[in-house]
Amino acid sequence: MTSGLDVSAGLASPAALALSKLKAVRPVESIKGPRESGMSPDKSRAKSEDLRRGRLAASLRENLKRRKAQSRAREVEAQPSNGPTAPSSSEPER
């Protein structure tokens, strides 16, 4: 593998020299494509779609729980208290 640098002239840096001596880890032919990897694109897409739908379902459940809790809190605030109340001073007692 030649880097196009003239290393004999001493113009290349030590890093460039090290890079020029590196060989490819594996040839391009050995890299597996989507068909050889064991999972087809349709299966990987279906798997990611299932994961996305699961996250969406969990999110919707959490939102529903939160909205129900908020609704219950509003109902409690809107109800008049059932405790003893003092008679109003503006009304005369009979």
The Cβ-side half-sphere exposure at 31, using a 13 Å CA radius, reads 5
For residue 27, give Cα distances in angstroms to 1, 14, 30, 59: 13, 26, 6, 45
What tens-digit pLDDT sequence spans the chain (94 residues)? Answer: 455 545 455 556 666 666 666 655 555 555 555 555 566 888 999 999 999 999 999 999 999 999 999 999 999 998 876 665 555 555 556 5
Which of these, 4, 44, 3, 1, lies nearest to 24 by C-alpha position?
1
State the pLDDT at residue 40. Answer: 81
What is the predicted pLDDT for the residue at 86? 57
Write down the pLDDT at residue 61. Answer: 98
Task: Specify the pLDDT at position 7.
Answer: 47
